[in-house]
Amino acid sequence: MSILKQLEEPNFKATKSDKVLIEYIKENIEDVFYKSISQIAKESGIGEATITRFSKKMGYSGLQDFKVTLAREISGLKNRKIINRSIENDEGVMESARKLFNSNIRILENTFNIIDGNDIEKATDMIINAKKVFFIGIGYSGMTAEDSNYKFSRIGFNCMSLDSSHNMIMMASLMDEDDVIVAISHSGETDEIIKTVNIAKANGASVISVTEDKSSRLRDISDVNLGYFSGESILETGSISSKLAQFFIIDLVYTQVVKEKSAEVVERKIKTTDAIKLYNE
């Protein structure tokens, strides 16, 4: 099995340190093979001995063997699939449009098939009963957090979106048992998100996580996990498919909230819409 495939689905039981290292490799896939073991250890926060053991778990004699093989694998990708893997460079616009359309439909269908209605209802109740809701995310997931904050703010909820690690940590230290944090992370292994959630939980806040439907540290420490299907490869990271799935899950919770609090939220939405109209006149 190739290294890239193993990073997506390891053929061994990955420890927490292994998962952190896998995410580090994914994020540095283009140049990790140039780095020394001491540099990787420092940047990933994983011990050198653990990195060596990980390389052997992957089927290599050591880190150097692992890096050489990874370098060959990456350089062998003549057309690196940073876009949907079914798309070819020489195809027409409408052919690419059809493939992207079909791919995104497949993502939504697969996500729909794994939705747990009970978890959606739990998340809905948690948000309705919260004093304040914090949406957090880093990078592309930060965009989903910001969009979610805007959506719920428009219907009168006391919300805040955070995509800065420093701001996340500060606000988490001020949360209490009446607050809810909605942590959005594709991998569920982002260190800044994990640290923020742990601080929030220590202060009594409840946690809803939105992640790819795989085992992860974030999923394990959440009160409710809302998983989605992605199918995104390492080099495709940041594609519309994973964001589309995230938006879909959040929109489903939003829809349930509106259904539960219909009279109140419709009145609030009218007020915010009228205010925006007046501002634009």
Would you call 226 helix, strand, or coil by DSSP?
A: strand
Structural domains in the chain (count): 2
Q: In the chain, what percentage of residues exceed pLDDT 70?
A: 91
How high is the pLDDT of residue 263? Answer: 79
Q: How many residues does the structure list for the chain?
A: 281
Alpha carbon distance 56, 37 (integer Å) = 14
Give the CATH number for residue 11: 1.10.10.10
Residue 186 lies in a domain: yes
Quick one: 136 and 48 in the same domain?
no
Instruction: Find out whether 136 and 149 touch, Cβ atoms under 8 Å.
Output: no
**Of 30-44, 113-127, 180-194, 240-254, which range is least confident?**
30-44
Neighbours of 255 (CB within 10 A): 12
Per-residue tokens: 117 = 């209605």
Does the pLDDT of residue 74 top 80, yes or no?
no
Q: What is the CA radius of gyration of the chain?
A: 21
Question: In the sheet where 206-212 sits, what is the strand order?
Answer: 159-162, 132-137, 179-184, 206-212, 224-228
Q: By residue range, what is the domain housing residue 70? A: 3-75
The secondary structure element, H or E, covering residue 225 is strand 224-228
Residue 185 lies in a domain: yes
Residue 103 lies in a domain: no
Tell me the pLDDT tens digit for each residue of 171-219.
999 999 999 999 999 888 888 899 999 999 999 999 999 999 988 899 9
Residue 63 lies in a domain: yes
Residue 249 lies in a domain: yes
Quick one: 45 and 130 in the same domain?
no
Quick one: 249 and 192 in the same domain?
yes
Q: How many degrees, rounded to 5, is the angle at CA 113 between CA 108 and CA 118?
A: 115
For range 156-183, the mean pLDDT: 96
For range 247-254, the mean pLDDT: 97
Alpha carbon distance 177, 175 (integer Å) = 7
